[in-house]
A and B are shown apart, each in its own frame.
Chain A
Amino acid sequence: MDIKILGTGCKKCQQLETLTRGAVAELELDADINKVTDPGEIAAWGVMATPALVVNDEVVIAGRVPTAQALAALLTNA
């Protein structure tokens, strides 16, 4: 599984990263987690409000930090 966290470095972006790493560990997923901070690259994903989450090359969340529950559901279904 390929996970990207898109964020320019704001507080919510860090929250999303922590939450995602936690969820991946808890669900024991085999995932590659990368951070994308370049605004050009972020914009190229069609994302205009950070933080955003990209799972297997698909934007699944933009502009907010999901609840831990919702995030776990997203990652399990991906």
Chain B
Amino acid sequence: MTTPVLDDGVVQSAPRRRLFFAAGAVAWLFLYQANLPFWDWIVYDVGGLDETTRVGGAVHFFLYDTTKIALLLTGVIFVVTVLRSFMSVERTRALLGGRREGVGNVAAAGLGVATPFCSCSAVPAFIGFVAAGVPLGVTLSFLIASPLVNEVAIVLLLGLFGWKITLLYIAGGMTIAIVSGYVLGKMHLERWVEPFVFETRLHGKVIDSAEGLSWDDRIAMGREEVGTILRKIWPYLLVGIALGAAIHGWVPEQWIADNASSGLWGVVVAVGLGVPLYSNAAGVLPLVETLHDKGLPMGTVLAFMMSVVALSMPEMILLRRVLKKPLIATYVAVVATGILATGYLFNLVV
């Protein structure tokens, strides 16, 4: 399936590709380093705004954060997409087939993170897994991990909170996916799966979407994915950062401390707000960063973020095609409980 390349094209393309990568990496690092001094200069020196005023702080926060997040997203989505092009849902299913619960849940959560997967394919993938004999709980571990520990969330956490919080989030997200899938599996909810799923006979020849790709294909996929994701999330991102900037400038820390701080109900409220909110990591995280700066505890912040990305209305509506309502309700309840527990745990340790 590779596109025909002329003889000299083959010889030249590898060095040219390396040059392209090196130039891209250097340009990226330069821009990332220059971001803070550049906006300091523009906002405070050229623009004449005062660093200590609300407007100055908010404008600077907005411009600096927007640039930083755009750079982080571009770099990491590109790299992640190229790496993930070596994996596919088909390979994941082959790896999960015949695995028992327990080990299977761990593998499924890990593969949920590593496999390129769009929630628009959740239903065919669900049927494909279950009809091929992957246990229900293992399949659910995959479906929970995939949106929960996604590359956009990881990038943003890394940029805004550093690697320790990011690792904590990944570990927490994986644990939720593993345990929730395992628990749901043990509850034997197969009777609430639409019967046609088990009756589906796979008659097509399976095509492995990761096969037969050249490096040029993978790079093209990486570039395309950066464009697709940025086009999709920029409005959320801008609104999120603008809200963050406004809170940064105007909401006093005392208000957060009085209304939303460590209290017992903080995490519950955060999850209660997060589940019906349908956004993506990009829209929520800038907001979350500001709230944390203002004193909202880390566990509460991460629980909010997890509930926004892991449990979304549109995905539940999609899954309704294959899961009956009681199973969807149980699924939401189990995952939400996992997020609550993780939030409280993080509040204790961070």
Contacts and interface: CB of A to CB of B under 8 A. Distances in A.
B124 A8 contact: yes
A52 B207 CA distance: 9
B253 interface: no
Nearest to B88: A63
A61 interface: yes
Overall SS of chain A's interface = mixed
Contacts of B318: 8
Contacts of A67: 3, 220
B128 A46 contact: yes
Size bracket, chain A contacts: 20 to 34
Size bracket, chain B contacts: 35 or more
Interface string B192-219: 0000110011111111010000000000
A12 B228 CA distance: 10
B17 interface: no
Contacts of B321: 39-40
Contacts of B90: 48-49, 62
A44 B204 contact: yes
Interface string B110-121: 000000111011
Contacts of B228: 11
Interface of B: 1, 3, 88-90, 93, 116-118, 120-121, 123-125, 127-129, 131, 196-197, 200-207, 209, 220-221, 228, 318, 321-322
Interface of A: 8-12, 39-40, 42-50, 52, 54, 58-64, 66-67, 69-70, 73-74
